[in-house]
Amino acid sequence: MGEGAPWLTIIGLGEDGPDGLTGASRAALEAAEIVMGPQRHLSLLPDLPGQRVDWPVPFADGLNLLAGYAGRRVVVLASGDPFWFGAGSVIARRFARAEWCVLPGPSVFSLAAARLGWPLEQVLCLGHHAAPLTRLRPYLARGVRMIVTLRDGAAVADLGQYLTGLGFGASILWVMEALGGPREAVTQSQADAVTGAFSHPVAVAVQIDGDGAALPRASGLADGFFDSDGVMTKRPVRALTLSALAPKPHEVLWDIGGGSGSVGIEWLLCHPTTEAITIEPRADRIGLITANATALGVDRLRVVEGRAPEALGDLPTPDAVFIGGGLSAALLEWLYGQLPTGTRVVANAVTLESEAVLIAAHRVRGGALLRIDLSEAAALGPRTGWKAAYPVVQWSVVL
């Protein structure tokens, strides 16, 4: 190993073992002093001069073990393309760029698309070997094609039941075991009729079909998508609120006074890189918010029990703040004193007292003040009339 050369090589190994490796990968294996990897991968290798080391469970323990071999010739075995839902990115975060190199193989997604003749650029590729199936929820709509890696063979039946429970039981599944190796098997089934035992490693290609309800891409999901105790920002006002908050990739939201969590949840649905923290003072609503977030596929919503501003001090700095409950002049002053210039703040008021707080803030701080008056057609005796909702005053400002 030359001076300054990487001591660590990450090799993407397929189910066909060394038969599918390039010359460079073969040479790295033969020169390695240490070969680390899961037992399944190590078992595919022929006799080699290097010492074999099982990667421990949990995965994080292997990073410290690997660090102890620094400076020696080390190969780490990963599945297919180590940087597509693989171990490569975790290892790369731990070690300096000059310490490692990678020799990838074909990913399971490429192999699955090749078996079915699917254009991979039009297919949703998801790694769910360590994630709950509920994270699929935002993507479920008739005609969507996806390839999903699963934790084990038993998860195939779980996937079929999950899709069926949401009305997508007519979806077609191609269960793919050990793609690219001598044990490769592809089994086609309908989601509501999945039977049989399947072996790890397993991926499932899915063409979504059925009468299930797809989540709209526009802001303002129907209220029925959320469980609520009656306190929530209703669909039309929520759509206007999200429009004013203007979520962008990688941004963080504080949702103060979560209620059912609907605003924070829709913020997260806008983009997979967004973050949201809901601050809710009532303990009995914490479980409700969490359940709504999980059911709609955004279990990354963080829920903090407490009152603002006391509960805000240790939270990550937000890009936007929504105040749906607990509005006061003191809270607004705290936000102005603590948050950086450029933070977007949107506050909704229903009572006269909270409306007065927003009018005063608008007079001093500027921004935009909007009054939202909505009426819905409802029965009026034998006829139909307009039933007015409480008007909402919305103030939006950039600090």
CATH number at residue 320: 3.40.50.150
CATH number for the domain spanning 65: value is 3.40.1010.10
In a domain, residue 21? The reply is yes
Place of tokens 């649905």: 269
Structure tokens at 306: 């407490």
pLDDT score for 3: 55
Please tell me whether residues 246 and 393 are part of one structural domain.
Answer: yes
Question: Is 252 in the same domain as 297?
Answer: yes
Within a domain: residue 2? no
Six-digit token pair at 343? 């933070």
Is the domain of 100 the same as that of 117? no
Classify each residue of 93-103 as buried b or exposed e, where b means 16 or more C-beta atoms within 10 Å of its C-beta.
Answer: eebeeebbebb
Helix, strand or coil, per DSSP, at residue 377: strand
Q: Are residues 99 and 139 part of one domain? A: no
The β-bridge relationship of strands 275-280 and 302-305 is: parallel
Give the pLDDT score at 309. 96
Residue 213 lies in a domain: no
Residues 6+ apart with CB under 8 A from 352: none
Q: How far apart are CA 226 and CA 262, in angstroms?
A: 7
At residue 188, the pLDDT reads 98
DSSP secondary structure letter of residue 341: T
DSSP type of residue 99 = G
As a whole number of angstroms, the distance between CA 368 and CA 220 comes to: 21
Which neighbouring-strand residues pair with 395?
A: 347, 369
Q: Which long-range contacts (CB under 8 A, 24 or more apart) does 21-29 make?
A: 21/105, 22/103, 24/103, 25/103, 25/105, 28/75, 28/103, 29/75
Provide the token pair at 1: 């190993």
pLDDT at 367: 97
Q: What is the pLDDT of residue 229?
A: 84
Q: How many domains does the chain have?
A: 3
Q: Which residue has the tokens 């709209």?
A: 216
Of 133, 181, 126, the residue nearest 155 (C-alpha): 133
Strand partners, 124: 146
Distance CA 144, CA 125 (A): 11
Buried b (16+ CB within 10 A) or exposed e, 304-326: beebbbebbeeeeebbbbbbbbe
List beta partners, residue 362. Answer: none
Which of 209, 124, 111 lies closest to 160, judged by CA?
209
For residues 338 and 350, state if they share a domain: yes
Q: Are residues 291 and 385 in the same domain?
A: yes
**Residue 230 confidence (pLDDT):** 79
Q: Which residue stretches of the chain are H helix?
A: 23-31, 39-42, 59-67, 88-94, 108-116, 155-165, 235-245, 262-269, 286-295, 329-338, 352-365
The residue among 106, 135, 153 that closes a domain is 106
Tell whether omega for the bond before 309 is within 30 degrees of 0, i.e. cis.
Answer: yes
In a domain, 217, yes or no: no
Cβ atoms within 10 Å of 344's Cβ, excluding its own = 21
CA distance 361 to 203: 55
| Structural domain includes residue 78 | yes
Residue 171 falls inside a structural domain:
yes
Residue 65 sits in the same domain as residue 177:
no
Instruction: Tell me: do 268 and 372 sit in the same domain.
Output: yes
Do 119 and 78 share a structural domain?
A: no
Q: Are 86 and 12 in contact (CB under 8 A)?
A: yes
Tell me whether strands 368-372 and 51-54 are parallel, antiparallel or unpaired.
unpaired
CB 160 within 8 A of CB 173: yes
Q: How far apart are CA 259 and CA 285, in angstroms?
A: 7
- Residue 7 DSSP class: S
Same domain, 166 and 51: no
Identify whether residues 152 and 84 lie together within a single domain: no
Out of 106, 125, 152, a domain closes at 106
Of 44, 78, 106, at which residue does a domain stop?
106
Ranges of residues in the chain whose predicted pLDDT is under 50: none
Domain of residue 169 covers 109-207
User: 91's torsion region: left (phi>0), alpha (psi -120 to 50) or beta?
Assistant: alpha
